[in-house]
């Protein structure tokens, strides 16, 4: 089947189940936290320890991620759909009332995650309408044991609406 139909392409990609993360950084211009919901996170290398994600070129937070040279990946648990929705919206108030820690880079580490990784950006690459970020992991935590939040066929998997 040719890949001429955008809807078909999205539908086929949606059959690949993923976890969900909130990827954050500290905006170097404003010193404010930035973050967005991402399922493009992937492990890349063990030695050195590298991970990657891709960010839409049109995303408002792209300049902050390009400028900050560091990011944190926060992996969501099944009961954190609200956080996923919050960081998939462009609501400027999405950090309001949200506790977080910072480690060495200032990228926000969210509480009660399955795992968090703090990374230094080692390279960025053009990838069509996205930019691919590769980061070296500097530190990690695994504060919680819980089932993961999963995304499959364009919806949260196994979560009652």
Ligand X SMILES: Cc1cc2nc3c(=O)[nH]c(=O)nc-3n(C[C@H](O)[C@H](O)[C@H](O)COP(=O)(O)O)c2cc1C
**Could you list the residues that contact ligand X (CB under 6 A)?**
20, 36-40, 53-56, 59-61, 87-90, 151
- What lies within 8 Å, CB to CB, of 108 at 6+ separation is 24, 26, 33, 35, 72, 95, 100, 101, 102
Nearest approach in angstroms of CB 142 to ligand X is 22
Q: How far is the CB of 98 from ligand X (least distance, A)?
A: 15
Supply the minimum distance, in Å, between the C-beta of residue 152 and ligand X.
10
- The answer to whether 39 and 19 have CB atoms below 8 angstroms apart is yes
Nearer to ligand X, 91 or 104 (CB): 91
Query: 89 vs 101, which CB is nearer to ligand X?
Result: 89
Instruction: Report in angstroms how near the CB of residue 148 gets to ligand X at its nearest.
Output: 12
Give, in degrees to the nearest 5, the angle at Cα 112 between 137 and 93: 90
Beta carbons within 8 Å of 14's beta carbon, 6+ residues apart = 152, 153, 154
- Which residue minimizes CB distance to ligand X? 40
Which residue lies nearer to ligand X by CB, 2 or 92? 92
Q: Which is nearer to ligand X, 39 or 141 (CB)?
A: 39
């Amino acid at each position: 089947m040719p890949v001429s139909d955008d809807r078909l392409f999205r539908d086929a990609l949606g059959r690949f189940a993923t976890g969900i993360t909130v990827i954050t950084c500290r905006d170097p211009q404003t010193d404010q936290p930035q973050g967005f919901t991402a399922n493009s996170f992937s492990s890349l290398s063990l030695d050195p320890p590298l991970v990657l994600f891709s960010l839409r070129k049109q995303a408002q937070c792209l300049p902050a991620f390009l400028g900050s040279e560091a990011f944190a990946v926060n992996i969501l648990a099944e009961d954190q759909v609200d956080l996923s929705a919050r960081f998939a919206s462009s609501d400027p108030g999405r950090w309001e009332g949200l506790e977080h820690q910072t480690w060495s880079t200032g990228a926000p580490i969210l509480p009660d995650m399955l795992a968090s990784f703090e990374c230094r950006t080692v390279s960025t690459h053009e990838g069509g309408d996205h930019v691919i970020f590769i980061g070296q992991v500097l530190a990690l935590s695994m504060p919680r044991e819980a089932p993961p939040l999963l995304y499959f066929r364009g919806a949260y998997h196994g979560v009652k609406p």
